[in-house]
Structures are given as C-alpha cells and as structure tokens.
Structure 1
Amino acid sequence: MSNYIKYNDKIAFHPGYYISEAIEESGLTQYDFARRLDTTPKNISCLVNGEQNLSTDIAMKLARMLDTSVEYWLNLQSAYDTVSAEIKSEEALEEERRVFAYLDYKYFQSYYGLPSLPRKIDCQIKQVRKFLKVATLSVFKERNMAVNFRSSTDKLSEANIVKANIMVQIATNQALNNPAPKFDRSRFNKTVDYALTLTGKHQEFYRLLKKAFYDAGVNFVILPNMPGSKINGATKKIKNNVMLMVNDRRLNADTFWFTLFHEIGHIINGDMGITFEGKEYHAEDEADIFAENKLIPEDAYHQFLSENDHHFTLQNVLHFARLIDRDPGIVLGRLQNDGKIKYGDYRFASLQKKYKIM
C-alpha cells in the first residue's frame, strides 16, 4: 500500500510519508526510530506504508520527539482524509456515471415527473438517485440486491441486473409510501378467488383488485416497463405486508392475468423474488402450474380439448370461457401457448384485449 494517493490532478500524502522523511533525516533505522518513539516497529511500518491512520497518541509522541506541534501531525492526517474522501467520491461518481449509462433518463422523466435536464448527466444522476432513495446508483449492480433473483442469472448482463433492481426499488418505494395492513394469508386466499371473477371486467378490475389485495396486506403495483429489465413480475416482503409488482410490458389480458397469478403462486409458496423472462428455476414451474390451473381448471381444460378433438372455433372458445367464467382471451392465450391455435390467427382477433394501466 502506498503512503500517498493520486487521482487526476489531486494528490494526498499520508502522514506516514512525512514520518518516512523524518526517519531518513534522523539517520536511524525504522526499528530504532520506533523504539525512541515508544511504539512498536510494526506500528511505524504500518504508518510509513499508509496502512493505518495516525492516532492522537502517536501524534503527541512525534511532536515531543521532533519538537513540532501535535496539531501539525493531526492536520496532516485531516488533510489526507479530506483529499482521500474527495478522490473516492470522484471515483464513485465515475462508476455511477457508467451505471447511469445503462438507463434512459426519459423513462423517469415521462413516468415519474423528473425535470428535463438535457445533457446535464450529473444533474440527471442526482435526480434519479434522489427519486430512488439511494446513496449511489452503483448499488443496483448487485445481484439479489433487494430480493432473490428467481432464475439463473448467468444470462443476465449487468445492465439487466441494474434495471431489474431499479424496478423493484420503485415498486418497493411506492409500497412504503402506502403501507398495507398486516398480511392475512386466509384473506389473501379468498381475494385470489375473488380475482378470478374479475377477468372479464376490463375497465374496473385493477381498482377492485388493488383494493382487495390491499385489505389482505398485499400492495399491488403495476409499473411501466423499463426496456432491458427482463422482469415479468416480483414480490417482496416489506415489514409485515407484501409488495406484488407486475410489469406492463405485455398487458394483453391473457399475459397479464397469467403473470399476476404466477406471482400470486409465489406469495402463497412464500417464495419472494423477481421473475425474469426465460425461467430456469423449479419454483417458476410450480408458479406456472398454479397460474394455469387457477385460471383454467385442469380437468375442465382437458375435457374441453377432448370434446372438440383439438378443432377450435370462435364459438366453442367463447362457450368454454362462459362455462368456467373467465375472459375468453385467457382461454385463447392458453390454447396459443399450448400450440393448439396459432398466434395471429385472425379468426380469434376479437378475443384479444389490450390493457392500459398507467
């Protein structure tokens, strides 16, 4: 370790640098100098190499031995600490700028009202940092920063990780601003069944569902997609309640309800975390099965497939949807996902509903 640090046009000398000069001028070895100073050779070695701060005790001994003032030595330490802190701050800002380059400031400006600051990168960073309530944007580089990543993260770039963490941070902050009652598992299970009755109420389901979840201790948040986050949804325990977030990246009725019930499955299983595209985690399979069977009862679905001999029309899809009291878009989405109906089949275009939440 060096007894000085240099960064751009700044340089800071550790008190050990001046102690080293004093030893050289004295003609003594470090060992003899340490003995005369009434300290250990190891202590002097650490100071000379800049490996530890100068204590008040050593400053007083140096002042007596070298006929200087205690303030002289303590001021050297203070000056070093100040410049060192400034250098570390600049280094941290450089790293923060690198992380910020992954983001599009217009996202925060458009959806969350941050001020327009064209070409003022450091000012933009300050605004985003303040909005997210963190000391530095660099914290978002850490995998599993706030919640468990529910899939293999090997295929996630640092940019993906940063954006995913930021989306969870936004949802968490929103939940903290509107704390829900204590999570009530029994009430939540009833709310899940209630949610199934809302799939066809395209204009009012969100308001009704948000209120019902809130009363059960679950803060339901839908966020505008941040391109590159690769998030489908996330859940997080916040004190004694739960945050449930889904991304509006794919707000077709069928994908919305599937994503929602997938996350509900995680809450029921006590598996909090982030769900990404491309699932490689057993809990994701469990949540998928839960969502599939809740949205379309398994026995009823297989009977429907059997009765229609895998030949599907608009009429029989509508009939089955009415039979199980689900939005027909959910049935269509399941059939498309299972390869029973091709995506883009114009005969079923009327069943597809696009939600707009934000």
Structure 2
Amino acid sequence: MIRDVLENSLNLPSNPSLKELFNEKLQEYGLSKTQFEKLANIQRRSLDGILDKTSKQTDVSNILKLSEFLDMPFDILLAYHLKDRSVEEIKDLQDSIEITFINRYFDLKTLALLGFIDKKFTVNELKKRICEFFKLSSIYEYGDELNEVLYSRTKRSFNDKMKDFWIKSSYKYFELIDNQNDYSREALKDLIPKIKPYTQNVDNGLLTVCRALYNVGVTIVFQPMVPKTQIRGATFLVNNKPCIVVTDLNKSYPTIWFSLLHELHHVLFDLEQLKQTRYHLTGEPDLFLIHEDKANQFASEYLISEEKMRYIEPLIHNHYMVDKFAKEIQIHPSIVYSQFQFRQAEIGNNYWGAFKEHFPVIDSLQANLNMSNWDVESLELAAQKIKELFTA
C-alpha cells in the first residue's frame, strides 16, 4: 500500500494544496480553524505540521481525522501529505517498503546460508544482488514478471519462499539459455535407448548425455538441492521447449540417473499438460500429479527390468557377481544396489545404509557439469557458461 501511495504522490497536481482543500472545507461547514481543532481533538502545532508539511513525523491518527473531515480516502490524503516531503522522510519510507517486499518474497536466512547473499547486506546491497542475479531493473519485477506465467493455474504460497525462488530462478535460467535447437520427440525417442551405457562413466557420462539431449531440443541442468525443499527433479516448458532440472538430493549417483529418466518420461508423455501448468516438480506435493507412478516405472524398467532384478537379488551381497551383472546390462553397479534398496523399502525392509562403499562420490560429476549455484554473479552469466559447455 505504501508503495502505491508514494507513486500516487508523484502524480498529484500541485494545486489545490492540502492546506487549500482544508480551508475550502472549513468555509463549506462554516467552521473556524480553532473550532475544527477542538472538535477533532487535534493540537494546532500538529495540524499545521500536516498542512504546511513541516512535521518531522507523520501522525497517522491525525491523518485519519483529517481524512474524515475532508471526505477523502485515507490513501489519497496520505499521498497529498507525502507530496514534496523531505528527501530523508521519503527515503525512509522507500527503504521500509523495499525491506518489507524483500522479506515477503525471500527467505534471507536460508539464502545467506546458501551464499546467495551476505547476512550483513544493507537494503541497497540486497536490491542490487537480487536485480543483478535475475537481470531485473527493479526488485518489484520479481513479484510481477513470472507470476502470470508460472502461477496462473496454481495457488502461490508465501510460506514456500525457497521453492518459489528455486522455480523462478530455474525458469529464468532456461529462458536465458534459450536452446536454439528444435525439440524433436522422434529424435528423443531414438536417443533414449542409447543413454544407459553412459551411467558407467561417473565423471563425464551425464555431461555427454546432456549435450546429446540439448541437440534434440531438451535442455538439462544439474543443480544443488535447495534447503527447505524436497525437489528431486522438475520439468519445465519454456518457450514451448522442454527443460529439465535434476538436483543432487541425497547426493546419490543412481538417483541422479533415475531422476533424469523420470523427467524424460514427462517430456515424452506429458507435454500437453505442461503447456497449461508450465512446470512440474518431482518430490514436492503437487496439485497436478502428472503420472508419477508411470514415470517411476519407466525409469526403473529402463535401468533394470523386473526380470533382471529378480535374477540378481539373491546375489546382491556378492559384489563380484553384481559388478559382472552390471557390466553385462551396461549400467553402473550402484544403480543395481539402489534399485534393490527401493524394492526392499516397498516391503518394509531398510537397506538404505547398505552398500555405501559401492556408490560413487558425485563431486567430479558436479564439477564437470558447471552447476548454476547460488553464489554465481548472475543467471545470465551462468546461462552463457552452460551454453558453451553444451555446444563445445
């Protein structure tokens, strides 16, 4: 509201002044200034401070009384009062508006933990960081520019600030990457059967697959999981082209590949619904559940069929046999163990802590994929780097 009042104050005519409007009303009611002061219980000094714009602070109760007397909406009278006020007072109000806006849309504590901001930032430093990162001319664009695109069919909740930040930054990131390759569903169908062997190359396999997918119009980015969310992956439709985010949730190498195949199922079969919702999150509650079971089944069957899992399960504690089996079906052994863990969890057995020594560390994978972390200077620069990486 204060933001609107300040904007209105800039557009008010110079004449008549608030003092002139007050005097006209006194004449209309046949009252003297002293009579009004007694009736409204306003001291002369306070009234003159409002009318002459000499008061150092705005007394809201007196503004309300004057609003009733002048038969003028409170926000309009406040705009009259603020017009031509001191630079210091206006700046204080603007700072108050801006920090309120920032606190409403951003989880500053979590963003500081991520390294996106410094917890000692001033209001101006916060504004600069947000605007430079998202390539905005004003912080208020953050609340306006993507809302119609991303939230026209869903209910936004300001309790989900980090999820909102993640969604908006991901969407903006894909807009800036702007994959120029046309999306071809047929080319994607031809490519998917060729993906599996690359799971065996921990350092560069995912990068190779991401480059191939980029060439058929599907943009993949790999990002850190954002605190206060459980997003495993997401599929966006940006400029009518499919875009996928895979996160490092649980830091699990097999989960990364499973998530990629899960999201590719959405690209193949759910694009029509994505045209309406614009994005789909995997791992978070979603009002538009887009065939999650089918996507999970697709990813599982693609990596290891039900028949093959039944064969290897009795031998799961024999690493030599698991390793030999994984090579035969051209996947990384950790994927076999991971699938076993999930299957056991479904029947109430907990194997999540088992086989850790056979799961690769994903540090090199993360480094090679040039992740867009939150300490980058801007999404524009991050987008340029990922384009260079995928087209090298």
Report the structure, 1 or 2, having the larger helix content: 2
From 348, 352, 365, give the equivalent of 1:343. 352
Shift of 1:334: 0.7
Say if 2:308 is the partner of 1:317: no
Residue 103 of structure 1 aligns to a residue whose secondary structure is helix
Shift of 1:118: 6.0
Residue 334 of structure 2 aligns to a residue whose secondary structure is helix
- Write the distance in 1 (CA, Å) between the matches of 2:109 and 2:230: 14
Shift of 1:211: 1.2
TM-score normalised according to structure 1 size: 0.67
What's the counterpart of residue 121 of structure 2? 120
What's the counterpart of residue 63 of structure 1? none
- Write the distance in 1 (CA, Å) between the matches of 2:233 and 2:152: 11
Residue 19 of structure 1 aligns to a residue whose secondary structure is helix
- Write the distance in 2 (CA, Å) between the matches of 1:317 and 1:275: 33
Shift of 1:335: 0.5
- Write the distance in 1 (CA, Å) between the matches of 2:225 and 2:265: 22
TM-score normalised according to structure 2 size: 0.62
- Write the distance in 2 (CA, Å) between the matches of 1:350 and 1:232: 23
Which amino acid counterpart does residue 185 of structure 1 have in structure 2? R
C-alpha distance after superposition, 1:46-104 (max 9, x if no partner): x83237979xxxxxxxxxxxxxxxxxxx9989648x98898466324223135343433
Which amino acid counterpart does residue 26 of structure 2 have in structure 1? E
What's the counterpart of residue 40 of structure 2? none
Say if 2:175 is the partner of 1:176: yes
Shift of 1:333: 0.4
What's the counterpart of residue 354 of structure 1? 361
Shift of 1:252: 1.9
Shift of 1:256: 0.7
- Write the distance in 2 (CA, Å) between the matches of 1:304 and 1:290: 15
Larger deviation, residues 329-338 vs 123-132: 123-132
Q: Is the 8 A contact 2:229 2:284 kept in 1?
A: no
Which amino acid counterpart does residue 252 of structure 1 have in structure 2? S
C-alpha distance after superposition, 1:182-224 (max 9, x if no partner): 2222222223222222111112113212211111112211112
Q: Which has the higher contact order (CA 8 A, sep 6+)?
A: 2
Unaligned runs of 5+ in 1: 7-11, 30-44, 55-73
Q: Is the 8 A contact 2:18 2:81 kept in 1?
A: no
- Write the distance in 2 (CA, Å) between the matches of 1:97 and 1:22: 43
Distance 1:95 1:118, change over 3 A: closer
What's the counterpart of residue 26 of structure 1? 28
C-alpha distance after superposition, 1:94-118 (max 9, x if no partner): 2313534343335345xxxx7xx56
Distance 1:175 1:309, change over 3 A: closer
What's the counterpart of residue 294 of structure 2? 286
Which amino acid counterpart does residue 285 of structure 1 have in structure 2? D
Q: Provide the aligned length of Structure 1 versus Structure 2.
A: 299
What's the counterpart of residue 62 of structure 1? none
- Write the distance in 1 (CA, Å) between the matches of 2:242 and 2:313: 43
Q: Percent identity?
A: 17
Residue 104 of structure 1 aligns to a residue whose secondary structure is helix
Aligned positions of 1:7-22 closer than 5 A: 18-22=20-24
From 85, 88, 91, give the equivalent of 2:97. 91
Q: Is the 8 A contact 2:109 2:119 kept in 1?
A: no
Q: Is the 8 A contact 1:108 1:128 kept in 2?
A: no
- Write the distance in 2 (CA, Å) between the matches of 1:86 and 1:276: 43
From 80, 85, 104, give the equivalent of 2:111. 104
Q: CA RMSD in A?
A: 4.4
Residue 245 of structure 2 aligns to a residue whose secondary structure is strand
- Write the distance in 1 (CA, Å) between the matches of 2:203 and 2:337: 20
Shift of 1:255: 0.8
What's the counterpart of residue 213 of structure 1? 213
What's the counterpart of residue 307 of structure 2? 302
Say if 2:197 is the partner of 1:197: yes
C-alpha distance after superposition, 1:297-330 (max 9, x if no partner): 3xxx23541x467453324433432332221111
C-alpha distance after superposition, 1:130-152 (max 9, x if no partner): 212343379569998754799x9
- Write the distance in 2 (CA, Å) between the matches of 1:197 and 1:308: 19
Q: Is the 8 A contact 1:210 1:219 kept in 2?
A: yes
Shift of 1:168: 2.9
Which amino acid counterpart does residue 164 of structure 1 have in structure 2? K
Say if 2:165 is the partner of 1:166: yes
What's the counterpart of residue 261 of structure 1? 261
